[in-house]
Structure 1
Amino acid sequence: MQAYSRRYDIDWLRVITIGLLLVYHVAIGFQAWGIMIGFIVSKGTWESLWIPMTMLNVWRIPLLFFVSGMGVYFAIQNRNWKQLLIERGGRLLIPFVFGIFVIAPIHVYIWQHYYQLPSNYIYGPAHLWFLGNIFAYVVILLPVFFYLKKNEEGRIVIGIKRLLSNPLGLLVIILTFIAEVVFIDPHPYEMYAMTWHGFVLGLLAFFFGFCFVLSGPVFWNMMLKWRWLFLIVASILFRYRLTQFQMHVPAHLLAIESCVWIFSVFAFGYKYLNHPGRTLRYLSEAAYPVYILHMIFLFLGSMLIFPLTIAVQLQFTFVLLFTAIGCFVFYELFIRRINIIRPLFGLKMKK
């Protein structure tokens, strides 16, 4: 079995991905259609803001599932299957259930209050839907992952490593994601939450993320070598999408664009982010609770700032700052320090 030191780039990418999800949700408040998916929306729209957001939209959620699969590889190195289920259950299911019945109803109540609607207790997964997906992936793929762990010198693992040591092996991954959209035919492609498209795409990304780390340094050095090609191809595909009417392109092109963006993120992350630090240690623990909380502070900030007669660019800045500062202050004062509530936000209790 190969020995791996901690991969700080993967830790950084998890933090960055969660941060991008927060920025993305703030941006929805400046799109006229945001109210249709349960967001508080500013009276002044900022349509050009959606250009970078639509670039993120095709790879932000798949990247999260890739990173989650990578995390499972490291987790099983010193755990048996029972320990892994208990650990992932505590980290995923407890916050998921708590979010369904406590976090989501709070931000729904703020939405109801802002739009002067009757106040009803409404529960649901909301922005935490992917936690249930990830735990399901752990359960589904557990036998496969432990088989690969126990047979790292076997034919299957050697075949995976050989395949992923060559950039042509990435075409197999791309073709798998193309097959997913051909079979499921999602409309739109970016609708991941609580859809079969989101579930199957996430399952594939979770599995391939595990395989990426399983493949070892040869794979990562190959990614490093071809990083600029990934970035160029992704940029060309995004540029082409911008030229189309309402940015509508076939789903298989979105699947390709999503993959090459993700490949480039992993490659550049491996080159520039694989280093530790106090900031990473702090953010690695804080990112998950902050994401769980952020919709409450996002809606509070929207309720207070959107009525102000200021430019939408300032509104965006103030809402983003209010959300980030509010989440981190609450994390620092309560979640981090009060032992009994730490598991509700996916953190281990301090001994």
Structure 2
Amino acid sequence: MTSERRHDIDWLRVIAIGLLLIYHIAIIFQPWAMFIGFIKSDEPVVALWTPMTMLNVWRIPLLFFVSGMGLYFAMRKRNWKQLLLERTKRILLPFTFGIIAITPLHLFIFQKYYHMPLGYYPHQGHLWFLGNIFVYVLLLLPLYYYLKKHENGKIKRVLSVVMSHPSGPMLISLFFVLEVLLVKPQLFALYAQTWHGFFNGFLAFFFGFLVVYSGKPFWQTVLKWRWLNTSLAIIMYGIRLGLFEFEAPGYLMAIESNCWIFGVFGFGYKYLNKPSKTLSYLSQAAYPVYIIHMFVLYTVALFILPLDLPIMLKFIAIVTFTGLACYLIYEFIIRRIGFLRPLFGLKWEFNKLEYNSTSKKEVLNIKKPLDYEKNF
């Protein structure tokens, strides 16, 4: 299997987590927020939902695509037993810990904000994503190792030829169209703990692995046609807003979703595939921040929403302080306390040289490789 590092894949994961945080904050300012378990601002900002509806058809599928790609890279140096053990430690352990210790926290905040009786309710919450990924790994591992064993076989050659054609990536969209026609989801973007979310994520995870396995032709194709894919996505988004008030027929939204994703892959491959110390740090931080961000978000909202401030200033303040608090918790608690690290998907080891060295030059010269294969 190829050993080429793909920094753009890491960047896309980081960006997707950042967009997820902003997306969840925007929900607080929607009139229906409380119905899905979010703290709700008394003064809504409905206009925030217009850009969010552009994001919500592709942000979660993109993460599943990237997670499937990450599994491909994780398989390069591991047999199936090693990979299963590594995925158990990296995904199942944080998932289980999160259900017990993290998701009940933001429910506590919700109960406190609305003066409800406090109760302890372990639940998947936003961590459903991790549970899905672990199931996908179990289901697809035999097939993936068969493909790995036949790295230069007929299947890869056929995939490479198909993905080198402009219509190749778009053929992938047909499977997503078939999914919505069969499952018939009420809302396309209702992914959490639904059959639509499970099968949509399964397809994205599966094809994420396959497109990396197929080699460079896929990336050269999405690079060449990035403007077309993005333009089609924008046009379909405009049609969705103009004719359907956010929720178009599922088959149209499935095609729009993949147009956004292939456009993002093309631009990412062109502009983001380069090493960066910032990326090295953010790539490691993204997973723990994903796990804690809902609790942090609710806590910040608890203090900001009652203040007598203009509503948009409240939104900006919640975004700012949520991001800052996530950074502080990650940097000074999760990252530095050994026994906490594996509970948030990190290795036990902490490289203190990066933070305790008295030599600035020594710090700047650290050559820490990106390791996207360790991320979900």
- TM-score where L is the length of structure 2: 0.92
In structure 2, the residue matched to 1:315 is 314
Rounded to whole Å, the distance in 1 between the matches of 2:3 and 2:76 is 10
| 8 Å contact from structure 1 (residues 137, 206) kept in 2 | yes
In structure 2, the residue matched to 1:302 is 301
| 8 Å contact from structure 1 (residues 152, 158) kept in 2 | no
In structure 2, the residue matched to 1:338 is 337
Q: Which amino acid aligns with 2:186?
A: H
Q: Which amino acid aligns with 1:46?
A: V
The alpha carbon displacement at 1:142 in A equals 0.3
In structure 2, the residue matched to 1:217 is 216
Rounded to whole Å, the distance in 2 between the matches of 1:208 and 1:25 is 27
Higher deviation after alignment, 336-345 or 159-168: 159-168
In structure 1, the residue matched to 2:175 is 176
In structure 2, the residue matched to 1:142 is 141
Rounded to whole Å, the distance in 1 between the matches of 2:135 and 2:311 is 40
Superposed counterparts of 1:22-37, under 5 Å: 22-37=21-36
Rounded to whole Å, the distance in 2 between the matches of 1:74 and 1:115 is 45
Residue 235 of structure 2 is aligned to residue 236 of structure 1:
yes
In structure 2, the residue matched to 1:12 is 11
Residue 250 of structure 2 is aligned to residue 251 of structure 1:
yes
Per-residue Cα deviation, 1:168-188 (whole angstroms, up to 9, x for no partner): 112321111000000000011
Superposed counterparts of 1:1-351, under 5 Å: 1=1, 3-350=2-349
| 8 Å contact from structure 2 (residues 161, 217) kept in 1 | no
Total equivalences in the alignment? 350
Per-residue Cα deviation, 1:27-56 (whole angstroms, up to 9, x for no partner): 000001011111111111111111110000
The alpha carbon displacement at 1:255 in A equals 0.3
The alpha carbon displacement at 1:212 in A equals 1.2
The alpha carbon displacement at 1:291 in A equals 1.2
Rounded to whole Å, the distance in 2 between the matches of 1:258 and 1:156 is 26
4+ residue runs of structure 1 moved beyond 3 angstroms? none
Rounded to whole Å, the distance in 1 between the matches of 2:218 and 2:245 is 37
| 8 Å contact from structure 2 (residues 57, 189) kept in 1 | yes
Rounded to whole Å, the distance in 1 between the matches of 2:7 and 2:50 is 30
Rounded to whole Å, the distance in 1 between the matches of 2:139 and 2:240 is 35
| 8 Å contact from structure 1 (residues 231, 264) kept in 2 | yes
Rounded to whole Å, the distance in 2 between the matches of 1:247 and 1:93 is 35
Rounded to whole Å, the distance in 2 between the matches of 1:322 and 1:39 is 18
Identity %: 55
Rounded to whole Å, the distance in 1 between the matches of 2:122 and 2:303 is 24
Rounded to whole Å, the distance in 1 between the matches of 2:218 and 2:178 is 23
| 8 Å contact from structure 2 (residues 58, 261) kept in 1 | yes
SS of the aligned residue for 2:167 comes to helix
Rounded to whole Å, the distance in 2 between the matches of 1:297 and 1:172 is 40
| 8 Å contact from structure 2 (residues 39, 301) kept in 1 | yes
| 8 Å contact from structure 1 (residues 28, 34) kept in 2 | yes
Rounded to whole Å, the distance in 2 between the matches of 1:103 and 1:314 is 28
SS of the aligned residue for 1:299 comes to helix
The alpha carbon displacement at 1:297 in A equals 1.2
Rounded to whole Å, the distance in 1 between the matches of 2:260 and 2:170 is 14
Rounded to whole Å, the distance in 2 between the matches of 1:95 and 1:293 is 11
The alpha carbon displacement at 1:87 in A equals 0.7
- TM-score where L is the length of structure 1: 0.98
The alpha carbon displacement at 1:249 in A equals 1.4
Rounded to whole Å, the distance in 1 between the matches of 2:311 and 2:53 is 19
The alpha carbon displacement at 1:245 in A equals 4.3
Rounded to whole Å, the distance in 2 between the matches of 1:246 and 1:177 is 22
Per-residue Cα deviation, 1:303-331 (whole angstroms, up to 9, x for no partner): 10101121111111101111111111011
SS of the aligned residue for 1:347 comes to coil
Rounded to whole Å, the distance in 2 between the matches of 1:217 and 1:160 is 11
The alpha carbon displacement at 1:162 in A equals 1.2
In structure 1, list runs of 5 or more residues that go unmatched.
none
Per-residue Cα deviation, 1:122-164 (whole angstroms, up to 9, x for no partner): 1100011010000111110001111111102211121111111
Per-residue Cα deviation, 1:265-291 (whole angstroms, up to 9, x for no partner): 000000000011110011011111111
| 8 Å contact from structure 2 (residues 34, 40) kept in 1 | yes
| 8 Å contact from structure 1 (residues 9, 274) kept in 2 | yes
Rounded to whole Å, the distance in 2 between the matches of 1:29 and 1:54 is 15
